[in-house]
Structure 1
């Protein structure tokens, strides 16, 4: 787990980024993963199969997204944000605020 600082406007933010590192053909490959997708699934009493069906993907593929073995596409992050009614910033750990401002 690494902590990064970034500036948005005149405000400093600190957010947590999780990395999963694998080696492929003698090169390090780093995948970013977001633990909140699993936490939200459990909090909403959903199974991995139910979420995989919602995303139109295989359950094993979705399980790999949750564990960080496979990088989740932005299109699926958008669908998950709509399903859980949270902001994408919250899903990826950029914000502690669940709801997006409208």
Structure 2
């Protein structure tokens, strides 16, 4: 599959027969205008997947830090309705 555009790279990809047939079906049924369009869509999906994996790693790290803080006794307990909301509002005002 080779596609050329001005100011764009040209890439040649060797596909297995079933992969090539899949690309041809997607283009012929109108899902993509060309093999290059299909490749770009696939690359966008891979990039998004990578961003999601990075975000999951960040969230896991935040959870690990929170677990460590809890183990060290660095937390605040709320027992009455509205205490958490009041605490969050006070923290937000203090950061302004």
The alignment's TM-score, normalised by the length of structure 2, stands at: 0.22
The alignment's TM-score, normalised by the length of structure 1, stands at: 0.21
Choose between structure 1 and 2 for higher RCO, CA contacts under 8 A separated by at least 6 residues. Answer: 1
Higher strand share: 1
Higher helix share: 2
Highest CA radius of gyration, 1 or 2? 2
